[in-house]
């Protein structure tokens, strides 16, 4: 009898342990994830389209070394302003820890022609707002950082010929109803500070909320955490985010052309001509197509390299 009574007591305990407990509702304030460091809701962004003022026309190539090129050769290295958080263009390789990507390889090819060795490069990490000032004060020789050629920038720095033609588009979760700019009304759209992307979103979706961040990987995090409904910038940058997350994809038409140029100080005309000579070689000998296939084939079959335009 005592054994039987013990059995029933044990059964009651087990039954009590396996009884499903009611779910406790957690306050939303406890689960809110803070936005990335430095992120702000942008306001007063001018929504004018990118200017058309012949800014993509550069100086004709020359391999005759002037004072700027001679100074670089005396130093023995090319100082390049670049990024480390733009997957496919310029990012830290997770295995080697070295900088890698399309922009990184373009910079190395320029060093190959200027110094005879693609390894003779000193990379300096810059944020987008630092690009122009670093060229103006001589902190770097060139900037290769997915920088769109615009009239406003061309008043402050010199640009090479265009080395890549990007298109601004949208990146959204695959389950999102957003399929184009018309669907952005009332949505939060992430982009990087001091880029043409913010102004384009303000123009095509004036009722959208703009979330401005310091780095592109901050936009990826914001999208994954539900703090943004879409990311808008160049397709080359968005593709780098999409390959990191299979639940994201690019949608919609091109919102704006984004021609990339290598930035330089306006006073260093011989360097501008030397860089353009390097880009001529890269386009002509198949190097450009090879780099595209290596890094940007996710965008589709390789197009022809951008045709150079010169103003002299």
State yes or no: pLDDT of 102 exceeds 80: yes
Please check whether residue 283 lies inside any domain of the structure.
yes
Please check whether residue 83 lies inside any domain of the structure.
yes
Please check whether residue 32 lies inside any domain of the structure.
no
Q: Are 303 and 51 in contact (CB under 8 A)?
A: no
Which among 239, 230, 221, 222 has a CA at the least distance from the CA of 176? 230
Same domain, 250 and 290: no
Same domain, 117 and 100: yes
Please check whether residue 172 lies inside any domain of the structure.
yes
State yes or no: pLDDT of 131 exceeds 70: yes
3-state secondary structure of 11: helix
- From CA 264, how far away is CA 285, in angstroms rounded? 24
Same domain, 141 and 201: no
Nearest 5°: phi and psi at 173? -60, 150
Same domain, 126 and 209: no
CATH code: domain of residue 290? 3.40.190.10
Give the ranges where 160-312 is alpha helix by DSSP (H): 196-204, 216-224, 235-242, 269-284, 287-295
Please check whether residue 4 lies inside any domain of the structure.
no
- pLDDT tens digit sequence for 242-272: 999 999 999 999 999 999 999 999 999 999 9
| CB-CB neighbours of 306 under 10 Å | 18
Domains identified in the chain, total number: 2
Same domain, 159 and 276: yes
- Domain range for 133: 67-166+259-298
Same domain, 263 and 161: yes
Q: What is the DSSP letter of 182?
A: G
- Least confident stretch, 49-58, 214-223, 267-276, 287-296: 49-58
| Structure confidence at residue 35 (pLDDT) | 62
Same domain, 72 and 161: yes
- pLDDT tens digit sequence for 73-101: 999 999 999 999 899 999 999 999 999 99
Same domain, 119 and 182: no
- From CA 312, how far away is CA 309, in angstroms rounded? 10
Same domain, 145 and 198: no
Please check whether residue 117 lies inside any domain of the structure.
yes
Q: What is the DSSP string of 24-43?
A: PPPPHHHHPPPPPTT-EEE-
Same domain, 227 and 278: no
Same domain, 151 and 108: yes
- From CA 110, how far away is CA 114, in angstroms rounded? 6
Please check whether residue 186 lies inside any domain of the structure.
yes
Percentage with pLDDT > 90 across the chain = 78
**Long-range contacts for 176-184 (Cβ within 8 Å, ≥24 apart)?**
176/229, 176/230, 178/229, 178/230, 178/251, 178/252, 179/251, 179/252, 180/251, 180/252, 180/253, 181/205, 181/252, 181/255, 184/208, 184/229, 184/230
- pLDDT tens digit sequence for 199-216: 999 999 999 999 999 888
State yes or no: pLDDT of 23 exceeds 60: no
Same domain, 184 and 203: yes
Please check whether residue 79 lies inside any domain of the structure.
yes
Give pTM, 2 decimals. 0.84
- From CA 189, how far away is CA 172, in angstroms rounded? 10
């Amino acid at each position: 009898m005592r054994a039987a009574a013990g059995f029933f007591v044990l059964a009651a305990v087990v039954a009590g342990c396996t009884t499903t407990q009611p779910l406790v509702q957690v306050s939303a304030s406890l689960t809110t994830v803070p936005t990335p460091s430095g992120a702000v809701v942008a306001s007063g962004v001018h929504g004018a389209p990118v200017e058309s003022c012949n800014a993509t026309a550069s100086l004709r190539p020359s391999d005759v070394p002037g004072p700027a090129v001679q100074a670089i050769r005396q130093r023995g290295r090319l100082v390049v302003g670049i990024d480390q958080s733009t997957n496919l263009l310029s990012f830290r390789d997770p295995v080697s820890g070295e900088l890698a990507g399309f922009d990184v390889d373009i910079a190395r090819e320029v060093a190959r022609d200027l110094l005879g060795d693609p390894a003779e490069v000193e990379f300096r990490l810059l944020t987008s707002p630092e690009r122009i000032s670093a060229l103006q004060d001589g902190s770097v020789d060139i900037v290769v950082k997915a920088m769109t050629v615009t009239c406003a920038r061309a008043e402050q720095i010199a640009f090479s010929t265009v080395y890549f033609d990007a298109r601004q588009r949208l990146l959204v979760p695959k389950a999102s109803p957003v399929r184009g700019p018309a669907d952005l009304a009332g949505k939060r759209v992430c982009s990087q500070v001091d880029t043409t992307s913010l102004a384009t979103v303000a123009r095509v979706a004036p009722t959208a909320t703009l979330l401005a961040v310091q780095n592109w990987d901050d936009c990826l995090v914001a999208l994954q955490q539900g703090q943004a409904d879409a990311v808008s910038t160049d397709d080359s940058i968005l593709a780098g985010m999409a390959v990191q997350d299979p639940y994201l994809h690019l949608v919609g038409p091109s919102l704006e052309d984004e021609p990339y140029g290598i930035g330089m100080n306006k006073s260093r005309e011989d360097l501008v001509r030397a860089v353009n000579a390097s880009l001529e070689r890269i386009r002509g000998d198949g190097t450009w197509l090879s780099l595209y296939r290596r890094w940007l084939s996710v965008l589709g079959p390789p197009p022809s390299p951008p045709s150079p335009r010169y103003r002299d």
